[in-house]
Amino acid sequence: MIDQSKNTLFIGKVAIHLKTVDSTNAYAKEMLSKSSPIEGTVITTDQQTAGRGQLGSKWQSEACQNIMLSVLLRPKFLLAQQQFALNAATALAVYDFLNQFELKKPLSIKWPNDLYIGKEKIAGILIENQLRGKYLDWSVVGIGINVNQEKFPSHLPNPSSLFLQTEKKYEIPPLLFQLYASLERHYLRIKAGRVNEIRKEYVEKLFQIDTFAPYLMHAEQKEEYGTIEGIDLFGRLLVRFKDRLQAFDLKEISPVL
Ligand code: BTN
């Protein structure tokens, strides 16, 4: 595989590799509180002992098999209310990275930023932002991608990995450089103000976009058929039901798989 380490301007130029850590996101946030890291600094690890997922969930990943990293970004140009643009850009970056492989099933972004192959999850993203006034100051962009893992704990609902999809094993370091290049490309697009373009591409790649399908509404514990139409300005998911168009926040709705 081609070494792409020179293909980025800033992401991955400083890279800290830890054999083991509680969570690369927690480590990156600690760095922010104690030092002045340069933008694009990446923390990678072989193993997390307390990997974090969205809204307090856990991220479990077998040691030395997968990509687990956090990138420190400084999107000072983004208003807090536009922060979803960074989620969308990151999801697109991971999408493009995964799309280079010959996958058995279609790749999509399950709102807000899980990467799915068919109905199985192959990657997750956890972005933790620090604000300064109305703007973002720092973002810790945490990414977990299942690469070589063959077996997953039975309680995980629908995990997958590149190995399970392609029947090949991969060396992790060259993949990291490809991922950095993809992340930088999409991040520079938001920095250049191309947020609408990012949103459009993100929506086109959404899992079950424009497809009539069943959804579970968590508050009411009720299932209802509807169609995902896109996202609103704040990144909430817009679902059309027979009698209404409804916007959903994180963990308010999930597809019935
Ligand atoms: C999710 O799907 O809920 C998000 C998972 C994010 C996992 C990654 S692994 C590297 C980084 N460090 C963490 O503790 N979490 C993220």
Residue type for position 89: A
CA gap 21, 198 in Å, rounded:
33
Q: Please tell me what DSSP assigns to residue 79.
A: B
- Residue 112 near ligand 1, beta carbon < 6 Å: no
- % residues pLDDT > 70 (the chain): 98
- Residue 53 near ligand 1, beta carbon < 6 Å: yes
Pocket residue to mutate for ligand 1, from 43, 68, 145, most atoms within 8 A of Cβ: 68
Q: Can you give the pLDDT at residue 5? A: 57
Are residues 174 and 4 in contact, defined by beta-carbon separation less than 8 angstroms?
yes
Q: Take atom 3 of ligand 1 and give the residue whose Cα is closest.
A: 53
- Residue 125 near ligand 1, beta carbon < 6 Å: yes
For residue 192, is pLDDT > 60?
Answer: yes
- Residue 94 near ligand 1, beta carbon < 6 Å: no
Q: Can you give the pLDDT at residue 55? A: 84
Residue type for position 127: I
pLDDT digits (tens, 9 = 90+) for 40-96: 999 999 999 999 999 889 999 999 999 999 999 999 999 999 999 999 999 999 999
Q: Helix, strand, coil: what percent of the chain each, to 5?
A: 25, 35, 40
- % residues pLDDT > 90 (the chain): 95
Residue type for position 214: P
Q: What is the mean pLDDT of residues 109-125?
A: 97
Dihedral angle sign, alpha carbons of residues 67, 251, 110, 156: positive
How many whole angstroms from its chain centre is CA 177? 17
Q: Can you give the pLDDT at residue 1? A: 40
Q: What is the mean pLDDT of the chain?
A: 96
- Residue 66 near ligand 1, beta carbon < 6 Å: no
Long-range contacts of 97-105 (CB under 8 A, 24+ apart): 97/145, 97/175, 97/178, 97/179, 97/182, 98/122, 98/123, 98/145, 98/162, 100/178, 101/162, 101/165, 101/166, 102/166, 103/165, 103/166, 104/165, 104/166, 105/165
pTM: predicted TM-score of the whole model, two decimal places: 0.96
pLDDT digits (tens, 9 = 90+) for 21-37: 999 999 999 999 999 99
Are residues 237 and 226 in contact, defined by beta-carbon separation less than 8 angstroms?
no
For residue 100, is pLDDT > 90?
Answer: yes
Q: Take atom 15 of ligand 1 and give the residue whose Cα is closest.
A: 52
- Residue 7 near ligand 1, beta carbon < 6 Å: no
- Which position has the token pair 């191309």? 194
Q: Find the DSSP H helices in the chain.
A: 24-34, 84-99, 162-166, 172-191, 195-204
- Residue 141 near ligand 1, beta carbon < 6 Å: no
Are residues 28 and 72 in contact, defined by beta-carbon separation less than 8 angstroms?
yes
Q: Which residues pair with 68 in a beta bridge?
A: 144
For residue 2, is pLDDT > 50?
Answer: no
Q: Can you give the pLDDT at residue 64? A: 97
CA gap 214, 75 in Å, rounded:
36
- Ligand 1: centre distance to CA 15 (Å): 18
For residue 202, is pLDDT > 70?
Answer: yes
